[in-house]
Every structure is written in structure tokens, then in C-alpha cells.
Amino acid sequence: MKESINLLIEDQAGGEREHFQVLILPGFALLLLAVIVVGSVLKAQRVAVMKQEVEGLSKQREGLNQGIVRFASFASVEGRNTGGQRDRILPGSPVVWSQLLRELGQRLPGKVWLTHVESYTPKSTGSSEANGKELRITGIASFPNDVEKLLSALEESTLWNDVRLVYMQKVHEPSQGYVEFEVTTRLK
């Protein structure tokens, strides 16, 4: 009795092994093994790169979450003033630009563009109403009635008193005309 059974063509036909059996089958098996090894290595590298990317994204998310927490705590401190003091800016205190620009942006008519906004302390004239900060707003508008809309909107605000139009001048250019203006107002 035979100790092993060889099912290759040689045993069945009784002849020698064919070229296909000697070279191609073992070569194909080695090639298949090489592809499996290379695929495994590439997959391991891809997994490592993805883990690094996930760690980087987690760090970014953590940084953003910390920034949101800091912003939320800042916003809650800004909005915590009581007794109607939120809308008031005390003389000698720095201007809260975020609050002023937010209010100004909400009240700005559609065809008005601001070119300059600054706060200043006017020279004292002896009047108690003149003490405090004032705001100078310059810009351009498509039409004079847009400037009038801006003045009306500023007068309705709880942040400003004594809204005054310093000048308004129509500028003619070859392509179109527009209006330049300057407005001053006292901060409450």
C-alpha cells in the first residue's frame, strides 16, 4: 500500500509531470501568497494612518469644544448685567464693540455701507450730558432716504442718544452717484 496519494496528472496518466504542474502552479501559489502579504501590510498601514487622523480630529474637536465653552462663559458674563445695565455704557469704561456692532448691523438699512466707525470722548463743554463716549459713523448710501432710514433706526435703539447727521453729500461719478454721510451719536 502507498503511504501517500498523489493526484497530479502523472499518477493518473502514468507519465511525467507537465510544465504547468512544475512551474505555473507553484508560481501562482507564491504570487497569491505575496499578494495576501502585501495586502495585509497595506491594510495595517492604512489602519495606522486612519487612527492618527482620528486622533487628530479628536484633538481638534476637543479644542473646538473648549473654545465653545470659553465663548459661552464669556457670553454669559457679558449678558449677566442686571437692572437694565446691559444696554448702558458707563463714562470712562471701554466701549463694548461686540454689542455696538451687533446692534448697528441689525439696524443698518440695505443700501447703506459703513466705511468707518470710531468712538471718542468729546471735549467737555460743561454740560453733564456731554460727558461720556460718542460714536462717529461714516459711510455711503445709494440714496439720501437710506441715510434717513439709518438715522431713524439709530434713534429707536436703546444704545444711543442724540443721533445727529453731521454731513451728507451727493457724489457724482461717471457710472453712478451715491451719498457720503457722517453721523455722530452719544452712547447711553
Q: Which domain holds residue 145?
A: 88-187
Residue 104 and residue 73 share a domain: no
Residue 33 and residue 16 share a domain: yes
Residue 44 and residue 9 share a domain: yes
Rounded to whole angstroms, what are the CA distances from 134 to 60, 94, 108, 121, 160?
41, 12, 18, 6, 9
pTM to 2 decimal places: 0.47
Quote the CA–CA distance of 4 and 156 in Å, as a whole number: 103
Please write the tens of the pLDDT for every residue from 28-72.
889 999 999 999 999 999 999 999 999 988 888 888 877 777 766
Please write the tens of the pLDDT for every residue from 83-113.
444 444 444 556 677 888 888 888 888 888 8
